[in-house]
Amino acid sequence: MRVWDVEPSLLCRQHLLGEHRELHGLWNILTIHAGKGGYSRHPETLRWVGKTNALFSRHELLVVEMSRRGYRHASELDRSLASGSFVQNALIDSIEDQQRMLAEKPCGCWHRDGLSGREETH
């Protein structure tokens, strides 16, 4: 389970869509299932406790990037379930470490020159 803290435009197709899917699972754990389930004690889940407003905002950033790339989005979050902080300041890995991790992946997320891979097909 991973919700990145870098700009969604820097993510390849695989990581953008994967994060979107994971974020929905995380949202369900934090809102609908109220901390019940196998991932309720996962570090990624715990860092979002009390910050579903920030998680909602991250979802909206992902949706904007998905739309920019021509993907149709049909899985809105229920805004009324969002609460707590609008800011996510608890990181599992620093932004720099996340950028390094992405740069080391062979998927084209984060190129060493800081440019995003945009040669994707839909």
Dihedral sign computed on CA atoms, order 101, 102, 105, 111: negative
Question: Is 2 part of any domain?
Answer: no
Question: Is 118 part of any domain?
Answer: no
pLDDT band at 1 (very low <50, low <70, confident <90, very high): confident
Question: Is 23 part of any domain?
Answer: yes
Question: Is 111 part of any domain?
Answer: no
CA distance 116 to 119: 9
Question: Is 14 part of any domain?
Answer: yes
pLDDT tens by residue, 14-43: 999 999 999 999 999 999 887 676 788 899
**Greater pLDDT, 36 or 44:** 44
pLDDT at 58: 98
Question: Is 48 part of any domain?
Answer: yes
pLDDT at 28: 93
Return the structure tokens found at 39: 């991932």
Q: Which domain holds residue 41?
A: 8-104
Question: Is 121 part of any domain?
Answer: no
Question: Is 59 part of any domain?
Answer: yes
CA distance 117 to 104: 14
pLDDT tens by residue, 67-109: 999 999 999 999 999 999 999 999 999 999 999 998 898 887 7
Q: How many domains does the chain have?
A: 1
What pTM was estimated for this model as a whole? Answer: 0.86
